[in-house]
Amino acid sequence: MNIVEIPLTRGYISLVDAEHAHLVQKYSWYENSGYAFCTSYVTGSRKTFLMHRFLWELFHGTIPIGGRIEHINGNNLDNRLDNLRTEVAKHQGERFKVCFTCKETKLISEFHVENYKTGNLHPSCKICKRSRDLEYKYNMSRGMYDILLAEQDGVCAICKRPETQSNQYGTKPLQVDHEHVSGIVRGLLCTSCNIGIGRFNEDPGLLEEAARYLKQRRSE
């Protein structure tokens, strides 16, 4: 099948079927939180579109309430029609919320609680919030994080174990370890190892002395 690459901002590209390329090429698209967005004026109002929803509704009609469009291969920038499918909640009475970032209608369980006293949910879904946090703190996309996580086999780069600590949202993701001066990402660490190297001021010499100390005392 012929595929066309649609350029986005910051060097990202989105994939579409060649026969559908002309439908999206007349707009300027940008990448945000791992999705392809476009902002345009419709009947005098500024509207934001996601490429996958734009293409889906062109060929399949309006997405039903409670429905969402999934990327089958997990690549949210692969917007070929064969890679898209709709998923509709099967249970009546489910509560939904539209994500501020990706504009998808999702179950409220897919949003973090922002204020436990009021019960207010975060405006962005868990996936988009995580993506925005990574980009803001480390200039790192969710895709880059996932690649690094796969390279480490899903475990901490130091202790080679998965994360065991949790918070109110469940098990924590591995933390991004970066050099504080340059901002360069070094790897993903569990909470314990990340705190550990911080206690040693990220000084290799101190860590080597600590290792030498433990080896000497163990042999005595």
Q: How confident is the model at residue 40 (pLDDT cuts 50, 70, 90)?
A: confident
Does pLDDT of 66 surpass 70? no
Mean pLDDT of 57-67: 77
Residues 69-92: tens digit of each pLDDT:
888 888 889 999 999 988 764 444
**In the prediction, which pLDDT does 100 show?**
83
Name 161's Cβ contacts closer than 8 Å, sequence gap at least 6.
155, 190
What is the chain's Cα-based Rg? 22
CA 29-148-130 angle, to 5 degrees, is: 55
**In the prediction, which pLDDT does 98 show?**
82
Length of the chain: 220
Q: Are 78 and 107 in contact (CB under 8 A)?
A: no
Query: How many CB atoms within 10 Å of residue 193?
Result: 21
Structure tokens given for 86: 């709709």
User: In the chain, how long is the greatest CA-to-CA distance?
Assistant: 81
CA distances from residue 183 to 4, 7, 137, 180 in whole angstroms, order as listed: 34, 27, 9, 5
Residues 127-148: tens digit of each pLDDT:
888 888 888 888 887 778 878 8
Mean pLDDT of 156-170: 84
CATH architecture of 152-220: 3-Layer(aba) Sandwich (3.40)
What is the rounded distance in angstroms from the CA atom of residue 156 to the CA atom of residue 140?
A: 18
Entry pTM: 0.53
CA distances from residue 55 to 13, 22, 83, 128, 219 in whole angstroms, order as listed: 16, 11, 12, 21, 67
Question: Domain segments of the chain: what residues?
Answer: 3-151, 152-220
**In the prediction, which pLDDT does 209 show?**
92
